[in-house]
Amino acid sequence: MPGRNIKLIIEYEGSNYAGWQIQKEQVTVQGLLTEAVTKITGCEVSITGAGRTDAGVHALGQTANFRIDHRLEPERYAEAMNYYLPDDIRVQSSTEVADSFNSRFDAVWRRYRYLLSSRRTAIFRKLRWERRGELDYGLLRQGADLILGEHDFRPFCVVASQKEDNRCRIYQSRWYRWGDLMVYEIRGNRFLHSMVRSLVGAMVNLARTDQDENPHNLTLARFADILQSGNEERIVFTAPAHGLYLRSVGYGKDKSE
């Protein structure tokens, strides 16, 4: 397609949307972005996102791109699109990139963040997982360390979306405290459907201090065995979507950032 290739960096609060990807009779982030470009230019475009976030998942640095044959300067798309977008979706920047650039297939890593708190609030309940009960912080950190490296993450993937290749390489996996929050950061070359939420759910499960009431009886040793074996066992506990954020996406040759 002739014209320019426009790269977008987008932030959104996903509570009101059925995820990133366009779906019939559903309000999605990709759908609203596409409509905004059409209203500005009169052109129909296809917007590609680096990550297809699920319903309720947020983004701090989603990357997308589209090709268009229009005279509008690339840097002006951000402001123009924001005029037509709701307040919970913001295009932070728009730039012209090489015609060969593809925000999805050129990504060398993606970074996700998960927010967890034991404190209930009226304001932040849709922006983090607020759960009661104590967790063993040491066990959370040990669980995160086990995720590092390359594994077959089939047990942590939605069954319907499993592919022949379920191996992912994880460059960063860690928990840290931030005020009243426990924050999980993970960065890898690729992620399977619901993989991050399944990993968080598993780590929370094994770190519960009320293990007598743990219906799945997941231990650190069992978690390690599942990661190493890549067997057909499915981790059934998935953390809520509203605690998850697509934080950033990396491009270029450096995979170690």
- Do residue 138 and residue 113 come from a single domain? yes
- List of E strands, 73-221: 89-97, 109-117, 129-130, 149-152, 167-178, 181-188
pLDDT above 80: residue 22:
yes
Do 113 and 89 belong together in one domain?
Answer: no
Instruction: Print the domain residue range for 177.
Output: 109-250
Asked, for residue 73, whether it belongs to a domain, the answer is: yes
Give me the pLDDT at residue 252, please.
85
232 plus 122 within the same structural domain: yes
pTM score above 0.85:
yes
Q: Is residue 199 part of a domain?
A: yes
Q: Which whole-number Å values give the CA distances from 94 to 9, 18, 63, 75, in the listed order? A: 7, 24, 10, 5
Residues 154 and 244 in one domain: yes
pLDDT for 257 equals 54
User: Given the structure tokens 């993606």, which residue do they identify?
Assistant: 110
Q: CATH number of the domain that 194 lies in?
A: 3.30.70.660
Indicate whether 27 and 89 sit together in one domain.
yes
Look at residue 256 and tell me if it is in a domain: no
Average confidence (pLDDT) over 87-107: 97
Residue 67 sits in the same domain as residue 40: yes
CATH of the domain at 28: 3.30.70.580
Would the pLDDT of 183 be above 60?
yes
Q: For 135-172, what is each residue's pLDDT tens digit?
A: 999 999 999 999 999 999 999 987 655 567 889 999 99
Coil, helix or strand at residue 246: strand
Q: Is residue 158 part of a domain?
A: yes
Q: Which of these three, 67, 97, 127, is where a domain ends?
A: 97
DSSP 40: H
What is d(CA 61, CA 1) in angstroms, rounded to the nearest whole number?
Answer: 26
Span 1-7, average pLDDT:
85
Which band of pLDDT confidence, cut at 50, 70 and 90, is reported for residue 256?
low
- Whether 257 maps to a domain, the answer reads no
Both 36 and 78 in a single domain? yes
Instruction: Verify that 60 and 149 share a domain, yes or no.
Output: no
Q: Are residues 188 and 227 in the same domain?
A: yes
Residue 19 falls inside a structural domain: yes
Q: Taking CA 169 as the corner, what is the angle to CA 205 and CA 175, rounded to the nearest 5 degrees?
A: 40
Q: Are strands 244-250 and 129-130 parallel, antiparallel or unpaired?
A: unpaired
Domains in the chain: how many in total?
2
Reported as a pLDDT band with limits 50, 70 and 90, residue 237 is confident
Residues 134 and 245 in one domain: yes
Residues 145 and 230 occupy one common structural domain: yes
Report whether pLDDT(33) > 90.
yes
Q: With the CA atoms of 143, 144, 148 and 151 taken in that order, what torsion angle do they form, in degrees rounded to the nearest 10?
A: 50
Whether 106 is catalytic: no
**Residue 254 pLDDT level (bands cut at 50, 70, 90):** low
CA distance 107 to 63: 9
Catalytic residue among 54, 106, 210, 225: 54
- Residue 66 region by backbone torsions, left for phi larger than 0, else alpha for psi between -120 and 50, else beta: beta
| Percent above pLDDT 90 for the chain | 79
- Residue that finishes a domain, picked among 97, 131, 150: 97
Same domain, 65 and 128: no
| Within a domain: 102 | no
